Amino acid sequence: MSWIIAKEIKTEEVMIAVIARLLDGVRHVAVGNSSPVPGSAALLAEELSAGAMRVSMLGSGRDQFWTNGGVELFDCAGQGRIDAFFLGGGQIDGQANINLVGIGDYPQQKVRWSGSFGSAYLYFVVPRVILFRDEHTRRVMVEKVDFISAPGVSKDNVYRPGGPHALVTPLCHFSFDKNQGRFKLESVHPGHTVEEVKDNTGFDFDCPKTVPETPMLNAATTTLLRDSISGRIAKTYPKFAERVFGIV
């Protein structure tokens, strides 16, 4: 793929570009529910792969080949037939632990979210799990999550072929070092700064002396995203497609 800085780009398109690049070389990527940004990125990467990649997206009539949804997703993941997946969280900490349950002491939590569902299982078996969140603040990027729905790291004696690969937010792109159990700042999105990332992140992370600006899609690929991929993602996420791409 070719990657350059594009003008007049939306935050969601920046995140889509980063995630699409992180999917280079993936054979089969699965997309869960409530994931329009990763879904768009997966469809874009599939298109650019010229048939080398397959996308399975829950809730999609065209891009889902399962007949029993999540059950078949878990089966495929357990059999090693899914190379990449996406997870978010109400809270994410510096060890890539995610919280999908709520805020406060369990079970008397003052805020409750949707629940862990299959996040812990998929976090352990899918080789390349990309974390994403559409909010980058200290209430989301915390020092330590209130509840671990899915752990980012495991002890050495735990068999774990899967785990966190990266974290993509509206401000930046982090990679994750599984040996160190820490995030590293890889790039900062156009219009933002390293200081802004530090101010809005509650956990420590590795930061090089020089942090590059996030590269964007070239003009041709941006056109592909807006003119073609937008129509495909609109089938599953119509409100997202209307807000980001103007698809009614």
Q: Quick one: pLDDT band at residue 64, thresholds 50, 70, 90?
A: confident
Residue 80's region, left for phi above 0, alpha for psi from -120 to 50, else beta, is: left
Per-residue pLDDT of 53-63, as tens digits, reads 999 999 887 78
Residue 184, strand partner residues: 175, 206
Percentage of the chain with pLDDT > 90? 84
* Cα distance between residue 167 and residue 192, in whole Å: 16
Give how many domains the chain has, as a whole number: 1
> Are 174 and 185 contacting, i.e. CB atoms less than 8 angstroms apart?
yes
In a domain, 146, yes or no: no
Q: Quick one: pLDDT band at residue 3, thresholds 50, 70, 90?
A: very low
Q: 10 Å Cβ neighbour count for 89? A: 26
Q: Which amino acid appears at position 237 of this protein?
A: Y
For residue 2, pLDDT over 50 is answered with no
Name the pairing type of β-strands 164-168 and 98-99. Answer: unpaired
> Are 127 and 161 contacting, i.e. CB atoms less than 8 angstroms apart?
yes
Per-residue pLDDT of 83-115, as tens digits, reads 999 999 999 999 999 999 999 988 888 899 989
- Nearest CA to 57 out of 236, 224, 229 is that of 236
Residue 21 belongs to a domain with what CATH number? 3.40.1080.10
In a domain, 172, yes or no: yes
Q: What is the pLDDT of residue 209?
A: 96
Q: What is the pLDDT of residue 188?
A: 98
For residue 15, pLDDT over 90 is answered with yes
For residue 198, pLDDT over 50 is answered with yes
C-alpha triplet 56, 141, 238: angle, nearest 5°: 35
Residue 91, strand partner residues: 99
Cβ burial of 111 (10 Å; 0-12, 13-18, 19+) is exposed
In a domain, 204, yes or no: yes
Q: 10 Å Cβ neighbour count for 128? A: 19
In a domain, 56, yes or no: yes
DSSP letters for 226-237: IIIIHHHHHTT-
Residues 84, 241, 171, 206, Cα dihedral to 10°: 0
In a domain, 152, yes or no: no
In a domain, 199, yes or no: yes
Q: What is the pLDDT of residue 245?
A: 95
> Are 131 and 167 contacting, i.e. CB atoms less than 8 angstroms apart?
yes
Percentage of the chain with pLDDT > 70? 97
* Cα distance between residue 132 and residue 168, in whole Å: 5
Q: Quick one: pLDDT band at residue 122, thresholds 50, 70, 90?
A: very high
Q: What is the pLDDT of residue 247?
A: 87
Arithmetic mean of pLDDT over the chain: 93
- Nearest CA to 20 out of 247, 248, 201, 224 is that of 224
In a domain, 234, yes or no: yes
Q: Which domain holds residue 237?
A: 11-88+118-133+160-245
> Are 146 and 105 contacting, i.e. CB atoms less than 8 angstroms apart?
yes
Q: Prior bond to 36 cis, omega within 30?
A: no
Name the pairing type of β-strands 164-168 and 102-103. Answer: unpaired
In a domain, 5, yes or no: no
Q: What is the pLDDT of residue 5?
A: 40
